[in-house]
Structure formats: C-alpha cells, structure tokens
Amino acid sequence: MSSKKSSRGYVVVTGTSTGIGAATALHLARNGFHVFAGVRRDEDGEALRAQVPEKVTPLIIDVTDESTITAAASTVADAVGKRGLAGLVNNAGIAKPAPIEFQPMADFRTQLEVNLFGPVAMVQAFLPLIRRGGGRIVNVGSIGGLLVLPLNGAYSASKFGMRAITDALRLELRQWNIHVSLIEVAPVETAIFGKTYAELDGLEKRLGEPNYRLYEEQVAAVRKSTKKAAADADPPLVIAKAIAHALTSDKPKTRYLVGHGGKQVAVAAALPDRARDRALVRELELPKPE
C-alpha cells in the first residue's frame, strides 16, 4: 500500500457489508482514503473490494467479539506503520424492537453490545493508531438518540449512550487535538428496514400470544411509522458525505443531523416531556389509555 495510493490516509470503518457502511467505505475510497472495511463474512469484504480494488482492504470484525477487534488492530498497525490512522468510523449497528416489559434480556443486551459496547471496544483498540496519525473518530448514531419511540427502548438506550460516549471522548481527547463527531442519522435507505419488519413479524412468536396481544396495537403503529420512514428515506450516500466531512473538514462539526426529517425530530425532542408524548401519540396513532 503506497502512500500515493493512500494520499488522504488510512481509515477503519465498521459494518460495511451493506447500507451506510458500504456507502461510506466506497465514498471514502473513491476520495483518496485507503479503507479498512470491517465485515463479518469474507464474501462481503471481497464484494466491496471488487468495486475499488486498490483502496479497500476487508477486515473481519465482529464488534461483539474482542478477539476479532484485537486481530484487526494488529493487522492495521502492521499495514499503516508510523503513519497511523486518519480516522475510525464506528458504524456497525442493529435494531431489535420489542416492548421493554417482555423483551428477552438477551436481545436487549445484544443491542447494547453491538451499538454501544462495540464502538467503545473499537476506540480502545485503535486509539493509539489514531493518536499516532493525528486522526479523527466518527460515531454513527441515530435520531433514536434524540427521540424514543415505543418498542425502541433498547435501541434508543444504545444511541443515547453513543451520544454520551462521544461527548466524553471529545473532552478527553481534546488534549491531543483528536476531533470526535457524532452523525445523528435520520431514516436512510438501508437493509435495517427489512430487518425491522422481520423483527416485528417475529414478535408474537418470541413474546408469546398473550403478551403480544397486550402490545398488538403499538406494534401495528410502529410498523406503519417504519413504512412511512422507509418511503421518505434518503440514500445512504447522504450519510457517507457527512462522515467524509467530519474526517476532512478544517472545522468538523461535533454533531451532524443528517437525513430526511431529522430537524423535525430535533424540534419534537426539545418539547417538554408531556407535550412530546402527546405529539408522538397523535403522530403514531397510538392506542388511548383504557
């Protein structure tokens, strides 16, 4: 990997098999970075590398498995040497909707493992290379870290947590002039919508018929809302461009609110609690109190 081929430096991006991660890896590669693309399957990595062969190196990274993170950090360290990293993009994430009352704790924990603990583990593993290279950290969050919908408590807990971790890192790493940005993503065209539908469809089986019936109307409301969000979603390249700005701008923002409907969500999130609840009940057509 010559310096000419990596004129803007080396970056690590997680969750690049599809959606935002794939769009980001390709966009950065096509704009002068050499991208270490985190995937969980070899075939996904090879498919990505085939599109920009000289600028993408697949890495097996499961952010819930520290052994894969350690191995990836070692591989990257050997490749970049004294140059270090220009950036780390924590993008990997999942959503497993369910009412908190009945959500299996394994599912709750998995969302935090992937969406919150995984990024922390990545930062701990790669920060020495970022410090060496004068690089930056970009965490991909969500408007779910601003506003909580029913059945999305675990997901939002992870995304509110991502905001807290980003704020802490921004202060802690200021000493070394390491910029840390948060991308607050509004709906974009990714596979997460199909996965969310599948999760909602599987709730009755996972929760059991009596428990599911208690929340059946809320499930229908969330499904309808998800369908509307999918119809209005922006392409993932919109997010990729914001990530590129955070990595390259002379004045990167601390937060990027990106995607269709993000500003409206931010306004709703700023309402007093009761007013916000009433607005969400109306918007989602949630069931009235019995």
Backbone φ and ψ of 194, nearest 5° = -60, -40
Which of 10, 155, 215, 256 is the catalytic position? 155
Amino acid making up residue 242: A
Distance from C-alpha of 25 to C-alpha of 92, rounded to nearest angstrom: 12
**Is 212 designated active site?**
no
| Residues assigned a catalytic role | 155
